[in-house]
Amino acid sequence: MKHTKLILALCLVVVSLFVISKTDRRFNSAYELTTTETSVYICDSESAYAYHGKSTCGGLKRCKQEVLKVTKTDAVNKYGRQACKMCY
């Protein structure tokens, strides 16, 4: 009887692991979708506040630091940038 309970518990663990791995895969494919989204350009400077749709934007030309190409989501969430008023 004790043995049956152990097997049942193991089954539960296996099933929940299976469910978790399935959910993970769904998260991954959602993440892949977001990585294919629009790329924007940001100036890697602490005083910069905007992200740009074009690498040739006048706002970027003033950048003394490196110009980074990132996704729009990263520009907003990771770097806290707003859309540039000149090219958006």
- Nearest CA-CA partner of 72 in 61, 62, 84: 84
Shortest Å distance, C-beta 36 to Zn ion:
22
Site string (7-46) toward Zn ion, x via CB under 5 A: ----------------------------------------
Among 43, 48, 57, 75, binds Zn ion (CB under 5 A): 57
| Under rule CB under 5 A, residue 75 binds Zn ion | no
Question: Among positive and negative, which fits the CA dihedral 22, 23, 24, 27?
Answer: positive
